[in-house]
Every structure is written in structure tokens, then in C-alpha cells.
């Protein structure tokens, strides 16, 4: 239904044997991918716009000519302005161009100073005489893992991109809450109820707390877990130790099974906080996975680690606040408590073993 | 029942009991989540009546590499004619021919200068020779390109009383754009009768699709493909992309996949084919891949339409902030044209504003959609107006717009979904269920895409 507009545009141009876009000269698309010092820019323009810029007839530009004149097209467009960072200019490497149907696609590679976080790129060609006055360039840039979308036109002919526009502290906190499965969205979405992604961490905590104890002991267990995962989350987040997920995930599953088995057998009741701390070390590596994808610089990482860890703690507190009162209540009926511990810990142990096998065999 | 015997169970029995509880809990969890969640997109069990025959889908001719220039002789021909008309009394036939060449180049390049040159040459020719003169058809085609459809119809009827191939194509296109389906149908039938080639069958298929005459539309799409000619592959690819669009919208997803794959085999970067691939991925729950496909379609064509689709797919993939950032850019791209009096993207701006959903956006979107319906009362325009009205708390009028769209023959899953919700709001449960069933039938993937942007 909502595609009818595009259909009608295509149909209205049906008299010729080709498809003409609605405003082919008016819109260009620039994609920028910056990973470390290497930068790749891809500019897509209508072929006739490229021909105008090269001073050739719009219907005579062919693929061979475009390939041969790639450098010239680059100089007439995005290479006209100097690509600068706060640490100095970038150095252009190679340019190549391809003609695909009615789109001229120009690819430029550059090397920028290492550690640069801001790009400043004037695009004087958008104001030039060979480009329509209504020309706009949509820019999509990926810098340091984050995506930015902006527009360059005659009114704003300079592109400024900064890696400062990153998730803030609050967003990292929420990320942590989500990862441990305490966010409401982890349990329910538009399609109905679902199990949270952090269910394994929740069951681990539950297995640790099942055997009960005083309030202080339960708090001690949660704190031990916090201590453990905070250490390895920091080590992994800072890149000091980064074991592969293929090792960590099965071990996390095994930890769940072992703790549940201990609860079942009634072992090590007095040292559960130490057990929590020890296995927390493993879980911390699991928590660090989400941060690794962001490719943050070191100062940003510290903020992210604090925020993310705070989020995991808040989520943990939420879980403990739900579970602990139930366990304390259950402890008033020792026989029932004993049975519930046995049954639930057996169930959690089976779940842990299932995950262990599943994650091991992939 | 007494608990003590159970509480005193030995460890081994407890373990077995625990395992049994775990298994029961797992089964219960699966049952509950399955019952409460929408089912995963299911492949179609059997082909529908619209399913295309594979041998008809296949492009039978050699696929030539598209490395050549658009029309290398065109510039030379235009230059020669321009030299010829630089006389005190140029021939009106030369002027008409020049107008046609400029229009042809404009169709290839989209250069507004060529549009302007075509119009100037055509008008000058008509001053010298009011009738009979093919220049009137050039003006009709230009009006159609500019979305001035009533004007295009008026001009086309002046060319051989609207019976020439060119006039009929303009009439069919313009009537279709205005939602005047009976007139569009008459023009399309006349086209096929005069020249039963791929473009005529395709035009008729599109009109039949708009009328909701699905089996006939499917037949004509297949006939158009059967009438493929060797040479340029862009037209056969476009035909298949439009065919796939029809199939996707009617819920014939397996057939659509077959046709899209062939379109992309013929012309790998064809924007419309890429967009239909994105549409199919969206309807089968692969929103992230769909977003990438729409982006490719945009890169290959710079059609703003595909950015709107990409934003929707991004949102469905869980990236609402990214979708809104993209919508903000779409708004920035299309607003200047509207302030300059251009009409081409008004409905698209309305759509983006509705998708974003802020109260001020919705009010403006409703106003834009109303203007569009007044100018061009197509099913598409009515649907956008209905969406805006429904989200601004005006279900009664929204419902009227939905029914007007349905009366035009539109049969889209999102339209039925909106109809179902509006009937539910108005307390008509049975009718709501009827529309919901129809929406399910047209959307067998049930991936949740059709709820996007609805109240």
C-alpha cells in the first residue's frame, strides 16, 4: 500500500525503456566507514550528475570512461575539500569508480591520524555551478562503531563528524540492567511473554540463594557475585584479558549446574559468598561481551564500565529484592524449604547442564 | 493431601523429582510462550492461485553486460536538431522532434534542463502548428512526470483523440495515479489491443492489481514476462520487480521470492528489485537484512521512498533511535521541495511524520495527507490520511477513509489491519475479526511489520 507512491513514479516514467529517478541530480549518498586510521568513503551519484561534473555529455558517460576518470571525479567532488581531523590532515590513497545502471559509484580510501575523533570535511562541490542548486548529500558515517546520519547541502556545505556522540553513562547503566535480565522489556515485548536473555545469570543467583540463610548472608552472596564479576568485567572491558565466548559461555552454564548441585546436596553453605565470588569471575567475562562491540576508547571505556557495572548491580538488587523475601518466608517452614531447595536446585542443575551441552556443541 | 511423605524423600528421588519438575517447567514455558507469542513466519504449505510458473519467470535471453553509455547518439542528434532550428522560421516538425529527444534524454538522465528544453520546444512547435501536432503528447508526458495528472489527461486526449499508444500510456498512468480505475482500465485495455507487448501487458497488470482483480493481474504479469525482448535488461528486471511487489502484497511469498531472485539475477543492482527483496525480508521477520536491502536500493537510486522503508525496517529491528535519526534526514531532504511548491514528496513527508508519531508531527501529517487526498484521491493517499486520523484520535473519519480505499479495490495487509483496529475501537468485534482474518491471509509471515505505525 505505502509503496504505491514509488510505483506511480516508476509507472509515470514507463514511456521510456529505462527507469528514471524522481530527482536524480538532486540527491547524492555518501557513506563513510572509519575503523581506526583507515577511512573509506563511497559516493553514489546519478550518472548524469557525474557526467556534468566531468564536463561530458550526460548520455555518453560509459563504464570504461568512468573507471578511467575516477580520480578526476574524486577531485571534482569529495576530494575538493581537505579532509581534516583534530590531529591533522588525512592522506588520500586510491580512488576507483564504477557505473551500475544509472548510478556512478566512487570509492575513495584515506589514512587519517591515529586516535583522531573528529572529522571536518568541506564539500565545496555542492555549491558549485555544475551541481543543481537543490542538490543534497545524505551522509551516513560509521565512526568508532557508532552510526551517524546527516545532510550536506548549499546551506551547510561542511561535514563535521565527531566520535563524541556516544551512549552516555545512563545508557550504559540501562544496558547493564537489560543484560542481567531485570528490565521489563526482557520479559515481555509486543509479541507476548518471553524469557530474558540474562536468564542464566538469574538462575545462577537463584541457585546461590536457594539454601537461604540470614539477610546478611544473602546480601553477602550478592556482594560476592558483584565482586567477582566486577573484576573480570573490568579486565575484559579494558582488553587485559579477553577469553573467547565459546569458552566462557559453556563455563557459565557449568557454573549454574555446579552451584545448583551444591544447593541440592546442601554443601558449602557457609562459603556460598566465596563460591559466588569465584563464579562471578566467570560471569563477568560474559557481561563484557556487549561492551566489546562498541570499540570504545579508553576514557570512554571507564565510563562505560562504571555505568554498565552499576546497571548489572541495580538489576541484581532488583532480583534479590524479589527472591530474598520469598526465601526468608520459606525458611519459616524448614521441611517445605528443604523440599523446594531440592526440587528447584535439581531443576536449575538440569537447565545448567542442558545449556552447557548446547553451548559446547554450538 | 499430606505433604510430609513428599518432604521426606531421599536425595535420589528428589533428584528425579527435580528433573521431572525441570522438564515439566520447560514444557510449560514453551507452551505458554508459544501460546502468547505470535507464531514464527511459516513457509507457505501450498502455492496459491497467484503463484507464478517458474518457466514464465525465467528471462530467456542472454544477459548483456550493462557497461555502455545510456544513448551515445542522443547528444549528437539533439545538437544537430538545435542547429537546424536556428533559422527564422523553424519547422514545427523539427521542434516537435527536438522536444521528443529532450524528453527522451530527460527520462534517461532526469535532468530538469532537458525537461525545460522539451517543454519550450513543444510549446514553440504548437504555436506554429496547433494541430495535428505530436508536441501535445510531449507536454502530456511532461505533466505526468510532474504529477500534474489532470493536466496530463487533458493534453493526452488532444493527441489523436487519445487513441495513440503514447496517449493511452499517459492516460492509463494518470488515471491510475488519481484512483480513477475505470478510466485507467479502459486505457490499459486499449493499449493491449493496439500493441500487445510487454509494456502494455504490464500497464494492464498494474491497473488490474489496483482494482483487486488478482487472478487477471497475475495472468498479465506472466504475459508481460513472456513478451520479454532481448537487449536491455533493465525493463525485464523492472517488470519482475513490479510482479514481485504484487505477489508480496498478496501474501504469495514463495512466488515473490522466485520472481525477485530472477530480477536480481538479470540486473543485480536494480533498485526496485532490491527494495522488493527488502519488503519480502521484512514480511518474513528479517528486519535487519531488510534494512540493509533498502539502503542498497537507496544507494542505487537515491529515491527517498527507500529511506522511509529503511527507517521502518530499522525500527522493527529494534533500533528506534537510528530510525528516527534517518527520518529526521528524510524530512530535511523533502521539506525544501515542498516550500518551493513541489508536490512530489508531500505524501512521503506525511508518512515519515506519522511513523515518528509525535503529536505535532501527526497534526501536520493529517493536514498534508488531506491536501494530497484532495488533489489525488488514491488508495495510498487515503491510507496515509486514515493512519494520521487514527493516531490523532479521530477513528470515525479514519474509518471512512479506510473504507474509501477498500472501495477503490485496494487490498493490503496494513489497510486491513488498520480497518480491524478501527472497528475494534468502535465496538464492532465481528467486523474487526473479519478484517483481521483478511490481514492474516495477506500477511502469512506475520512477522509484526504490518503493525508498525498503526495506533
CA of A354 vs chain B CAs: smallest distance (Å):
11
Q: Which residues of chain B have pLDDT under 70?
A: 1-47, 65-72, 109-110, 340-344
User: Which residue in A60, A149, A344 is closest to B325 by CB distance?
Assistant: A149
**Which of A9, A10, A12, A52 is most worth mutating to test chain B (most B CB atoms within 10 A of its CB)?**
A12
Q: Which residue of A has its CA nearest to B334?
A: A136
| Nearest residue of chain B to residue A346 (CA atoms) | B18
Chain B 250-269, residues with CB within 8 Å of chain A CB atoms: 267, 269
- Could you read off the pLDDT of A124-137 as tens digits, one per residue? 999 988 888 888 99
Assess A9–B contact: CB distance below 8 Å, yes or no.
yes
pLDDT tens string A163-211: 765 556 776 777 778 777 777 766 765 556 767 767 888 888 888 888 7
**In the predicted structure, residue A76 carries a pLDDT above the cut 90:** yes
Q: Is the minimum CB–CB distance between A41 and chain B shorter than 8 Å?
A: no
Binary contact (A349, B448; C-beta < 8 A) = no
Nearest CB to B111; choose among A58, A100, A134: A58
Q: Give pLDDT, residue A297.
A: 53
Candidate ranges A62-71, A220-229, A306-315, B11-20; pick with highest mean pLDDT: A62-71
Residue pairs between chains A and B whose CB atoms are closer than 8 Å: 272
- What pLDDT shows up at residue A17? 27
| Helices B287-301, B271-283: inter-axial angle, 10-degree rounding | 170
Residue A24 pLDDT class (50, 70, 90 cuts) = very low
Nearest to B105 among A59, A64, A190 (CB): A59
- Find the closest chain A residue to B22 by CA distance: A347
Q: Would an 8 Å CB–CB cutoff place A322 in contact with chain B?
A: no
Say yes or no for a CB contact (<8 Å) between B234 and A149: no
Which chain A residues have a beta carbon less than 8 Å from that of B10? none
In a 3-state reduction of DSSP, which class is residue A144? Answer: coil
Q: Are B168 and B162 in contact (CB under 8 A)?
A: yes
**pLDDT band for position A347 (cuts 50, 70, 90):** very high
- Of the two residues A156 and A308, the one the predictor is more confident about is A156
- Rounded CA gap, B273 and B306, in Å? 12
For A101, name the nearest residue in chain B, comparing CA atoms only.
Answer: B66
A335 — contact with chain B (CB < 8 Å)? yes
pLDDT of A146 reads 81
Q: Would you call B33 and A101 a contact, using CB atoms and an 8 Å cutoff?
A: no
Cα separation, A62 vs B67, in Å, equals 6
B-chain CB neighbours of A40 within 8 Å are none
Average pLDDT over residues A64-79: 94
Which SS3 state, helix, strand or coil, does residue B330 take? helix
Q: Which residues of B touch A3 (CB under 8 A)?
A: 245, 275, 279, 305, 309
B7: contact with A, CB 8 A cutoff: yes
> Does an H or E element contain B287, and which?
helix B287-301
Q: Which of B4, B245, B325 sits opposite A3 (nearest CB)?
A: B245
> Residue A10: its pLDDT value, please?
39
pLDDT digits (tens, 9 = 90+) for B166-210: 999 999 999 998 889 999 999 999 999 999 999 999 999 999 999
Q: Is the per-residue pLDDT at A300 higher than 90?
A: no
| CB contacts, 8 Å: B206 with chain A | 7, 11
**Residues 162-221 (A) with a CB less than 8 A from some CB of B:** 190-195
Residues of A in contact with B105 (CB under 8 A): 58-59
CB–CB contact A24 B21 (8 Å): no
Among the partner-chain residues B242, B271, B333, the one whose CB lies closest to the CB of A136 is: B333
Please, which residues 212-271 of chain A have a Cβ atom closer than 8 Å to chain B? Answer: 264-265
A residues 46..105 contacting B (CB < 8 A): 46-48, 51, 57-65, 99-103, 105
Amino acid at each position: 500500500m505505502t509503496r504505491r507512491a514509488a510505483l506511480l513514479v516508476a509507472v509515470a516514467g514507463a514511456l521510456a525503456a529505462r527507469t528514471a529517478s524522481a530527482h536524480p541530480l538532486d540527491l547524492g549518498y555518501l557513506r563513510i566507514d572509519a575503523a581506526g586510521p583507515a577511512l573509506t568513503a563511497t559516493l553514489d551519484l546519478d550518472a548524469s550528475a557525474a557526467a556534468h561534473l566531468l564536463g561530458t555529455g550526460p548520455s555518453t558517460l560509459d563504464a570504461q570512461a568512468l573507471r578511467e576518470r575516477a580520480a578526476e571525479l574524486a577531485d571534482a567532488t569529495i576530494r575538493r575539500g581537505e579532509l581534516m581531523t583534530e590531529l591533522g590532515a588525512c592522506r588520500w590513497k586510491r580512488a576507483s569508480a564504477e557505473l551500475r545502471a544509472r548510478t556512478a559509484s566512487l570509492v575513495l580510501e584515506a589514512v587519517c591520524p591515529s586516535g583522531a575523533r573528529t572529522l571536518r570535511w568541506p564539500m565545496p562541490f555542492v555549491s558549485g555551478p555544475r551541481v543543481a542548486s537543490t542538490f543534497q548529500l545524505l551522509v551516513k558515517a560509521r565512526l568508532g562503531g557508532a552510526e551517524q546520519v546527516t545532510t550536506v547541502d548549499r546551506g551547510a556545505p561542511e561535514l563535521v563528524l565527531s566520535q563524541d556522540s556516544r551512549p552516555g553513562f545512563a545508557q550504559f547503566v540501562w544496558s547493564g540492567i537489560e543484560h542481567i535480565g531485570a528490565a521489563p522489556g526482557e520479559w515481555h515485548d509486543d509479541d507476548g511473554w518471553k524469557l530474558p536473555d540474562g536468564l542464566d545469570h538469574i538462575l545462577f543467583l537463584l541457585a546461590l540463594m536457594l539454601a537461604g540463610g540470614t539477610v546478611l548472608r544473602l546480601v553477602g552472596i550478592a556482594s560476592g557475585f558483584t565482586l567477582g564479576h566486577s573484576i573480570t568485567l573490568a579486565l575484559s572491558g579494558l582488553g587485559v584479558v579477553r577469553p573467547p565466548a565459546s569458552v566462557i559461555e559453556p563455563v557459565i552454564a557449568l557454573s549454574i549446574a555446579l552451584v545448583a548441585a551444591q544447593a541440592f546436596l546442601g554443601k558449602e553453605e557457609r562459603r556460598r559468598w566465596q563460591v559466588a565470588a569465584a563464579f562471578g569471575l566467570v560471569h563477568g567475562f560474559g557481561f563484557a561481551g556487549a561492551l566489546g562491540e562498541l570499540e570504545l576508547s579508553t576514557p570512554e571505556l571507564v565510563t562505560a564500565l562504571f555505568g554498565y557495572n552499576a546497571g548489572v548491580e541495580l538489576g541484581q538488587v532488583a532480583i534479590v529484592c524479589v527472591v530474598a523475601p520469598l526465601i526468608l518466608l520459606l525458611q519459616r517452614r524448614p521441611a517445605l524449604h528443604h523440599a523446594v531447595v531440592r526440587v528447584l536446585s535439581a531443576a536449575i542443575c538440569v537447565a545448567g547442564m542442558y545449556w552447557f551441552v548446547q553451548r559446547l556443541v554450538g | 493431601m499430606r505433604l510430609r511423605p513428599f518432604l521426606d524423600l531421599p536425595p535420589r528421588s528428589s533428584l528425579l523429582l527435580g528433573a521431572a519438575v525441570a522438564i515439566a517447567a520447560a514444557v510449560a514455558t514453551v507452551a505458554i510462550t508459544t501460546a502468547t507469542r505470535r507464531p514464527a513466519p511459516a513457509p507457505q504449505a501450498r502455492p496459491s492461485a497467484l503463484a507464478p510458473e517458474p518457466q514464465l519467470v525465467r528471462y530467456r535471453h542472454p544477459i548483456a553486460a550493462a557497461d555502455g553509455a545510456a544513448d551515445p547518439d542522443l547528444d549528437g542528434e539533439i545538437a544537430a536538431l538545435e542547429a537546424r532550428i536556428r533559422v527564422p522560421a523553424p519547422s514545427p516538425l523539427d521542434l516537435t522532434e527536438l522536444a521528443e529527444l529532450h524528453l527522451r534524454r530527460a527520462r534517461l538522465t532526469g535532468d530538469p534542463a532537458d525537461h525545460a528544453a522539451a517543454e519550450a520546444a513543444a510549446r514553440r512547435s504548437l504555436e506554429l502548428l496547433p494541430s495535428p501536432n505530436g508536441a501535445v503528447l510531449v507536454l502530456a508526458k511532461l505533466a505526468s512526470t510532474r504529477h500534474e495528472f489532470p493536466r496530463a489527461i487533458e493534453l493526452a486526449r488532444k493527441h489523436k483523440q487519445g487513441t495513440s499508444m503514447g496517449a493511452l500510456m499517459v492516460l492509463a498512468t494518470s488515471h491510475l495515479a488519481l484512483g480513477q480505475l475505470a478510466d485507467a482500465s479502459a486505457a490499459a485495455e486499449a493499449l493491449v489491443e493496439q500493441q500487445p507487448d510487454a509494456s502494455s501487458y504490464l500497464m494492464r497488470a498494474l491497473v488490474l492489481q489496483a482494482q483487486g482483480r488478482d487472478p487477471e493481474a497475475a495472468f498479465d504479469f506472466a504475459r508481460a514476462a513472456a513478451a520479454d525482448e532481448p537487449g536491455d535488461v533493465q525493463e525485464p528486471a523492472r517488470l519482475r520487480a513490479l510482479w514481485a511487489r504484487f505477489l508480496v502484497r498478496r501474501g504469495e511469498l514463495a512466488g515473490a521470492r522466485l520472481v525477485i531472485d530472477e530480477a536480481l539475477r538479470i540486473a543485480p543492482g536494480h533498485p526496485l528489485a532490491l527494495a522488493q527483496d527488502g519488503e519480502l525480508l521484512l514480511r518474513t521477520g528479517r528486519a535487519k537484512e531488510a534494512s540493509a536491502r533498502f539502503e542498497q536500493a537507496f544507494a542505487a537510486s537515491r529515491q527517498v521512498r527507500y529511506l522511509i522503508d529503511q527507517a521502518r525496517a530499522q525500527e522493527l529491528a529494534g533500533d528506534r533511535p537510528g530510525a528516527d535519526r534517518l527520518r529526521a534526514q528524510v524530512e530535511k531532504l523533502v521539506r525544501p521541495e515542498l516550500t518551493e511548491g513541489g508536490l512530489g514528496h508531500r505524501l512521503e513527508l506525511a508518512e515519515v511524520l506519522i511513523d515518528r508519531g509525535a503529536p505535532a508531527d501527526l497534526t501536520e501529517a493529517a493536514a498534508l495527507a488531506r491536501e494530497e487526498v484532495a488533489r489525488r484521491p488514491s488508495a495510498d493517499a487515503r491510507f496515509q490520511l486514515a493512519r494520521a486520523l487514527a493516531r490523532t484520535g479521530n477513528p470515525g473519519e479514519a474509518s471512512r477513509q479506510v473504507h474509501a480505499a477498500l472501495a477503490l479495490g485496494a487490498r493490503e495487509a496494513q489497510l486491513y489491519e488498520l480497518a480491524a483496529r478501527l472497528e475494534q475501537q468502535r465496538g464492532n468485534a465481528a467486523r474487526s475479526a473479519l478484517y483481521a482474518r483478511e490481514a492474516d491471509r495477506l500477511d502469512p509471515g506475520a512477522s509484526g511489520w504490518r503493525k508498525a505505525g498503526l495506533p
